[in-house]
Amino acid sequence: MRDIDGRAMAKAIGAEVAATAERLRADGVVPTLAVVVPTDDESTAWYVRSIERAAQNRGVECRVLQLEDPSAERLKSELDTLSADDSVHGIICQTPLPEGVTLADVGEHIAVAKDVDGANPASLGRLAAGLDTFAPATAAAVAEILRQDEVALKGKNVTIIGRSTVVGKPAALLLLAEHATVTICHSRTENLPEVCARADVLVAAVGRPEMVTAEYVKPGAIVIDVGTNPTAEGGLVGDVNAESVASVAGALTPVPGGVGPVTTQLLLRHTVQAAA
Amino acid sequence: MRDIDGRAMAKAIGAEVAATAERLRADGVVPTLAVVVPTDDESTAWYVRSIERAAQNRGVECRVLQLEDPSAERLKSELDTLSADDSVHGIICQTPLPEGVTLADVGEHIAVAKDVDGANPASLGRLAAGLDTFAPATAAAVAEILRQDEVALKGKNVTIIGRSTVVGKPAALLLLAEHATVTICHSRTENLPEVCARADVLVAAVGRPEMVTAEYVKPGAIVIDVGTNPTAEGGLVGDVNAESVASVAGALTPVPGGVGPVTTQLLLRHTVQAAA
């Protein structure tokens, strides 16, 4: 089994982002990403710092707006303000959200043109309708990795485990647009290993540590592991049991070092695109 | 093979619509559907007359706005006006559209609350995000027929042939919400008959007369035929070859008399819901 090197792909995207950011700055535009952080969740804080670092390395300004458990109204009002602010080009709102607040609800207050992580349902609808829009960065990373790895998709069976609004559904739409035959599985799917084992490309986006084992994988299949499950030791583990699938899969994105770094660079790419 | 009686289902929905319309009228609200017809296409005119008749029978007022090959700007402006008109509760824009105009583009000018045929990409996005919204009536009819026929969906394999924005994709989202495992196929799908023959429920929404034959159908499967292909004799034929699948399928929606009448009544149901 071959490891797909997400870090190398991310580096290439990052270099392209840096070049675009430099051109923008030469024209007097400072590409700017606003990151709204509505809770003091520890792993969110870690992730936000990694976005800040990545942005700094690529010439993208990153403004972090830390809120202390805001009401839905306050959060929407902040997103409205950022949407109207000409100096801000991209806006993301980190999860988890305060209790009783849903991403779809607050996402409607992120202007579609600045919705670099596809949180506004209107962005998802535009994606489904084939209009120009930003897909959620994680779903976009799945499609980007398959594109960069030159994986044949036209007519092929792609199976996605997970039907979330942020990964499973938008990834299905993106890969459908690449002419794949797309199957969406989830916790209720009967005979899940059997269904997955028919896939030429298997995307695991389920949030269960190392759930995907050899029996889920067709010999030679490309496996994309979207899972980022924290371990007791403070590390990360994917949804795929790499050791188990190693003898069957053709290639796998490792965790860490697969989908994650590509996702971060795509957020920055979306931001410079929004600023251009 | 059992025929699924779409006309009987439509009648039941129509009775419920009429009761709601009567209550609304007693409260001084005349539930009103505006139908914008942007071309003089003959089969559109036929379909619009059938909507008018159905609306009249159920106490829903139907306002037809016939336009003569309008520009995109004119069409958008008419839809904006109707969206702002408090006496209008539902708005549909008939296809075909004038050359160079796309439904997604003009659909954005139908207010989501009045978008009873789910033409606004924002409605599709809200559907994908699990928010309250109107699905395109044809896709909603597929889900309604399966519900009324008490077809088990949870965990089952549902395969949809066709990935259009008006049927395939929204039907996939609706059936995914019913916990089906959903596969979306299309013209590029490899081994299409084989993929379809794994489905417990097969939805044909491809627009090719009688394309689906026995080899596409798992024994006992429920087959929903969304096709309405005009015949040389002035009739309608579905995407399914009823004679061929008869010995294999468990049940089939006939054409005419299946999805079509349910779709029309759901447009009216959506309109009275929007008026309520």
Residue B147 in contact with partner chain A when CB distance is under 8 A: no
Check residue B43 and give its pLDDT: 82
Q: Average model confidence (pLDDT) for chain B?
A: 97
Residue A112 in contact with partner chain B when CB distance is under 8 A: no
**What pLDDT digit, counting tens, does each position of A206-218 carry?**
999 999 999 999 9
Residues of B in contact with A169 (CB under 8 A): 128, 173, 176
Range with the lowest mean pLDDT among A81-90, A231-240, B161-170?
A231-240
- Alpha-carbon distances of A121 from A10, A112, A185, A257, B60, rounded to whole Å: 27, 9, 21, 29, 31
Terminal Cα distance for chain B, rounded? 40
CA of A176 to nearest chain B CA: how many angstroms apart? 8
Residues of A in contact with B106 (CB under 8 A): none
Residues of A in contact with B121 (CB under 8 A): 122, 125-126, 128-129, 131
Check residue B41 and give its pLDDT: 87
Residue B132 in contact with partner chain A when CB distance is under 8 A: no
**What pLDDT digit, counting tens, does each position of B24-76 carry?**
999 999 999 999 999 988 888 989 999 999 999 999 999 999 998 899 999 99
Q: Are β-strands B181-185 and B157-161 bridged in parallel, bridged antiparallel, or unpaired?
A: parallel
Q: What topology does CATH give the domain A28-114?
A: Rossmann fold (3.40.50)
Q: What's the CATH number for A137-260? A: 3.40.50.720
Check residue B48 and give its pLDDT: 95
**What pLDDT digit, counting tens, does each position of A105-123 carry?**
899 999 999 999 999 999 9
Range with the lowest mean pLDDT among A225-234, B141-150, B218-227?
A225-234
| Under 8 Å between Cβ of B185 and B208 | no
| Under 8 Å between Cβ of B5 and B257 | yes
Residue A273 in contact with partner chain B when CB distance is under 8 A: no
Instruction: Work out the average pLDDT over A245-254.
Output: 98
Neighbours of A78 (CB within 10 A): 20
- Asked whether the beta carbons of residue B124 and residue A123 sit closer than 8 angstroms, the reply is no
User: Searching chain B, which residue's CA lies closest to the CA of residue A129?
Assistant: B165
**What pLDDT digit, counting tens, does each position of B199-235 carry?**
999 999 999 999 999 999 999 999 999 999 999 998 8
| Identity of the residue numbered A99 | E
- SS3 annotation, B33-68: EEEEECCCCHHHHHHHHHHHHHHHHHCCEEEEEECC
| Under 8 Å between Cβ of B139 and B160 | no
If pLDDT is split at 50, 70 and 90, which confidence band does B89 have?
A: very high
Residue A35 has pLDDT above 90, yes or no: yes
| Domain positions in chain A | 28-114, 137-260
A213 is known to lie in a ligand binding site = no
- Fold match between domain B28-114 and domain B137-260: yes
If pLDDT is split at 50, 70 and 90, which confidence band does A273 have?
A: very high
* H helices present in A118-231, as ranges: 121-128, 137-148, 168-177, 192-196
Q: Average model confidence (pLDDT) for chain A?
A: 97
Question: Shortest CA distance to B216 belongs to which of B237, B238, B241, B182?
Answer: B241
Position of tokens 């409205």? A80
- Asked whether the beta carbons of residue A184 and residue B181 sit closer than 8 angstroms, the reply is yes
Q: Which tokens go with A118? A: 């596809």
Here the ipTM equals 0.96
